[in-house]
C-alpha cells in the first residue's frame, strides 16, 4: 500500500505499516535500527507520540478523520514527546526529512492507494 499526498501529488511512502492494535501501537518503531526511505508507519488511533529509546529522528503527520494533515512535525529526535493534538485520529511516522522533501504541509489531503 502506498501513501500519497493528493494535494501536492507526491508519494510519501511506497510501503506502509499499520500499528492499529494496542501491542503494535506500544511497540511502534522501537527496536528498529533504521527507518528506510519509502516507508511509513501509521499509528491509529493516535493523537501524540514519543521517541523514547528510538535510534533515529522521524517526521510526524497528525491527521484528522478525513485524512487531512492537521500538523507536521519535522525531525523529532529520540527521547522527545510530541504535543497532543486532540483532533488527530492517526499519526503518520516518516523518515526524517521526508515531509520537507515532499513539501507536505498542514491542510494537505492524504490518500492510501493499493
Residue 88 to residue 57: CA distance in whole angstroms = 21
* Per-domain boundaries in the chain: 2-113
CA gyration radius for the chain? 13
Average of pLDDT values for 105-110?
98
Contact criterion met (CB below 8 Å) for 12 and 3: yes
Residue among 65, 67, 72 nearest 112 (CA): 67
Instruction: Say what percent of the chain tops pLDDT 90.
Output: 90
State the pLDDT at residue 15.
96
Average of pLDDT values for 75-79?
96
pLDDT score of 47 more than 90: yes
Average of pLDDT values for 61-87?
97
Cell numbers at residue 60, please? 510526524
Average of pLDDT values for 46-69?
96
Average of pLDDT values for 59-84?
97
State the pLDDT at residue 31.
84
Contact criterion met (CB below 8 Å) for 87 and 69: no
The domain 2-113 is placed in CATH, from the list 3.40.50.740, 1.10.10.10, 3.40.50.620, 2.60.120.1140, at 2.60.120.1140
pLDDT one-digit tens code per residue, 81-97: 999 999 999 999 999 99
Average of pLDDT values for 64-79?
97
Amino acid at each position: 500500500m502506498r501513501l500519497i499526498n493528493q494535494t501536492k501529488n507526491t508519494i510519501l511512502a511506497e510501503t506502509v505499516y499499520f500499528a492499529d492494535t494496542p501491542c503494535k501501537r506500544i511497540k511502534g518503531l522501537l527496536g528498529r535500527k533504521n527507518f528506510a526511505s519509502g516507508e511509513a508507519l501509521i499509528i491509529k488511533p493516535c493523537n501524540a507520540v514519543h521517541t523514547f529509546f528510538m535510534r533515529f529522528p522521524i517526521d510526524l503527520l497528525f491527521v484528522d478523520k478525513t485524512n487531512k494533515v492537521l500538523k507536521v512535525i519535522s525531525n523529532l529526535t529520540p527521547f522527545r514527546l510530541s504535543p497532543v493534538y486532540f483532533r488527530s485520529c492517526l499519526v503518520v511516522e516518516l523518515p526524517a526529512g521526508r515531509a520537507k522533501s515532499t513539501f507536505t504541509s498542514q491542510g494537505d489531503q492524504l490518500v492510501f492507494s493499493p
